[in-house]
Homo-oligomer: A and B are copies of this chain.
Amino acid sequence: MDNTELTIKTDKIYDGKILKLRVDTVELPNAKYSKREIIEHHPAVCVVALTDDDEILMVSQYRKPLDKTLLEIPAGGIELDELPKDAAARELLEETGYRADTMEYLCEFYTTPGFCTEKIHAFFATNLTLAAQDLDHDEFIEVEKIPFDDIIKRIGRCEISDGKSIAAVLYYNTFRRNQ
Contact = CB atoms under 8 A, between A and B. Distances in A.
Interface residues of A, number: 71
Interface string A1-33: 101110000000110111101011010111010
Interface string A103-127: 0000111111111111110000000
Interface stretch (A78-86, A91-99, A167-175): A167-175
A107 B37 contact: no
Copies of this chain, how many? 2
A128 interface: no
A113 B118 CA distance: 13
A170 B117 CA distance: 23
Interface in A11-60: 13-14, 16-19, 21, 23-24, 26, 28-30, 32, 34-41
A142 interface: yes
Contacts of A34: 137-138
Interface string A141-169: 01000000000100110101111101100
Given A5-B64, A36-B65, A171-B155, A28 B163 contact: no
